Structure 1
Amino acid sequence: MIIPAIDLIHGQVVRLYQGDYQQATAFTIDPLSQLLSYQAQGAKWLHLVDLDGAKHPDNRQSALLASLVSQLNCQVQVGGGVRCEQDLHTLLECGSDRVVIGSLAVQQPKLVCQWLDTYGSHAICLALDINIIDGKKSLAVAGWQQDAGIALESLMAEFLSHGLSHALVTDISRDGTMTGPNVSLYQELAEHYPSVHWQGSGGVASLEDIEAMRNSGAAGIIVGKALLEERFSVKEAIACWPNA
């Protein structure tokens, strides 16, 4: 499945390079028009990231998110700075079908496991950002600025026991680089954890990358910068990897 994505700062569509706010590229496009275009081309899910909320929950773009989601007919997953249950509530109240939870899942896994029990696995997607060093998948937190000192594999048993079914994994070294996704990473994850619907993220630059990911075992691929730069369209991507 192709999952088009946009990141938002102060209501503007942007892309960061490897999570660095100092290396943001702004696009002079209307976010709603862009999302409606993706929907019209066949997207069944869209991915929104509130980078203001990710930096500080008090700056969450709740009104904008609610307005965008209310005008879409497809399903939407939203992330950005979920630090407590109220943040989760806020994003669900904005109309999100699924909330993406990143650093908190690494730092307080027991709390997020409780939310999986309460809200159901359909409502939560973990965002696991990793640096691969000597083969070890080391998790990063705080907007990729800190190494958590925890391997991805060490988290999985606990989350799986609480019914985890959706996880987005980003190879940080690929994000924003347009060098292609880490296909072997998703092949490994799909093989070891077949009950999880893995979403790939980072590095997609061409339709050839989409084709490679189609056979990786991942359930979907997040595509952001390549679409904004019009390297290919959502319609063309879906032709390579039809939605389930």
Structure 2
Amino acid sequence: MIIPALDIINGKIVRLYQGSYHMQTNYGNPTSLLKKYINQGAKMLHLVDLDGAKNPEKRQNLLINQLIKKTTPLSRIQIGGGIRNAKDIETLLKSGATRIVLGSIAVTQPKIVKKWFEYFDPNTLVLAVDLRIYSAENRKIAIYGWQKETNLQLEQIIEEYYAVGLKHVLCTDISKDGTLLGSNISLYQSICNSWPKISFQSSGGVHKLTEISKLRSSGIKGIIIGRAFLEKKFTVNEAISCWQNE
């Protein structure tokens, strides 16, 4: 599945370069882009509340709820950014979101988040792992918008949540995100081979249509694409055709 990504700061669509809030490009109104992507065939959209990710007290709840209502049932919504408790998840699911993305909190408060996997349907939760990759054996998790690197390895966190029913993982190679420098195909081949029962989503670096067939062949179930769509490298429709023709 091709999943267009929309990152939102102060009600506007932006792209951050390498996660830096100081290096952002503004792309305008989220509503018009959502409609455009849906009209081009997107069946799922990935929304990130960057204000909420930076400060949970500044989550853009009103805007997010409006966007979800305008999107469903034409397309499903996967959303992350500043999720800090079960009530946040419950509210978003009730408003119509399909999946909730859990990032830093899954690392910093695993006891709490594991309970969420028992309370909610695991199919509604996505574990987001942002990686600093030093070698095939050394892939460390970064948190808080990549500002802090942990000693936790990719294998450790996946196994920890796999034990409580983990179904979906969004995996980002930090060195690729927002760069249009190409995807880390070998990373996705590796993790899909290691955990064949998990649905992995790739994120970061896609800039050519030829990458889409390679990524699908790696075994992933979804490709999150942001900047390439915003900068018109290719359309959502073209990307979906490449996925379907693989």
Give the TM-score category using the shorter length: over 0.9
Distance in 1, matches of 2:10 and 2:34, equals 17
* TM-superposition CA deviations, 1:198-225 (whole Å, max 9, x none): 0000001110121221211011100000
* TM-superposition CA deviations, 1:167-204 (whole Å, max 9, x none): 10000000011011101101010000011100000001
Distance in 2, matches of 1:70 and 1:86, equals 19
User: What corresponds to 1:67 in structure 2?
Assistant: 66
> Does 1:13 pair with 2:28?
no
Return the offset for 1:86: 2.8
User: What corresponds to 2:170 in structure 1?
Assistant: 168
Provide the TM-score with structure 2 as the length reference. 0.95
Return the offset for 1:87: 2.6
User: What corresponds to 2:36 in structure 1?
Assistant: 37
User: Is residue 187–residue 216 contact of structure 1 (8 Å, CA) maintained in 2?
Assistant: yes
Q: What letter corresponds to residue 77 of structure 2 in structure 1?
A: V
Distance in 2, matches of 1:175 and 1:132, equals 13
Identity of aligned residues (%): 47
User: What corresponds to 2:24 in structure 1?
Assistant: 24
Distance in 2, matches of 1:173 and 1:91, equals 30
User: What corresponds to 1:125 in structure 2?
Assistant: 126
* TM-superposition CA deviations, 1:220-239 (whole Å, max 9, x none): 10000000000000000000
Return the offset for 1:122: 1.2
Number of residue pairs the alignment of both structures matches: 243
Q: What letter corresponds to residue 35 of structure 1 in structure 2?
A: L
Distance in 2, matches of 1:87 and 1:148, equals 25
> Does 1:149 pair with 2:151?
yes
User: Is residue 139–residue 149 contact of structure 1 (8 Å, CA) maintained in 2?
Assistant: yes
Distance in 2, matches of 1:181 and 1:35, equals 24
Superposed, which structure 2 residues align to 1:104-119 within 5 Å? 104-119=105-120
After superposition, the CA RMSD in angstroms is 1.4
User: Is residue 52–residue 59 contact of structure 1 (8 Å, CA) maintained in 2?
Assistant: yes
Return the offset for 1:90: 3.5
Most deviating of 187-196 and 156-165? 156-165
Task: Give secondary structure in 2 for the equivalent of 1:218.
Answer: coil
Distance in 1, matches of 2:40 and 2:157, equals 36
* TM-superposition CA deviations, 1:41-69 (whole Å, max 9, x none): 11111000000111111111111011011
Task: Give secondary structure in 2 for the equivalent of 1:133.
Answer: strand
In structure 2, list runs of 5 or more residues that go unmatched.
none
Q: What letter corresponds to residue 152 of structure 1 in structure 2?
A: L
Most deviating of 155-164 and 187-196? 155-164
User: What corresponds to 1:55 in structure 2?
Assistant: 54
Task: Give secondary structure in 2 for the equivalent of 1:215.
Answer: helix
